[in-house]
Structure 1
Amino acid sequence: MWFEIIPAFSIVAVCLAIPHVAVFGLNKLVNGNAFRRDTVERYDRIFYQRDWRITGNPYQPTGLDAIPNEE
């Protein structure tokens, strides 16, 4: 019957979900945070570099107090 496909579907679904869960843990282990920025587009890379220059760590949000004042 139709329900005989449920075990095979479950195995495939779990195998496809493992990389998404593993990336969360690997980023936490390697980068110190659980998320990774997407830098595929040119503007995303520019914003990442801007945040790195201003704060030193683009993954920790900061406000305007992180930008140094000009003299």
Structure 2
Amino acid sequence: MWYEILPGFGIIVVCLCVPGFVTPRIQKFQNNGKLKRVAKDWNEWWMMSRDYRLTGSHYIGRGLEAIPDKPTKK
């Protein structure tokens, strides 16, 4: 009968819902009690990509001397 599909349906629903409830708790555990990462991580990545754009390497940091004063027109 129709009620024979209820156990299988229940298993599918539980398997699809569990990751949505568990993932935020795992992230909170990994981020030391904060639900989201702090902006500091994004800022560090952004500066690393800036160094790569200016110097061609993530590991060579340059200061303001690497940025041209006036943009050159082509």
Q: Which of 1 and 2 has higher RCO (CA within 8 Å, sep 6+)?
A: 1
TM-score, normalised with respect to structure 1: 0.45
TM-score normalized by the length of structure 2:
0.43
Q: Which structure is larger by alpha-carbon Rg, 1 or 2?
A: 2
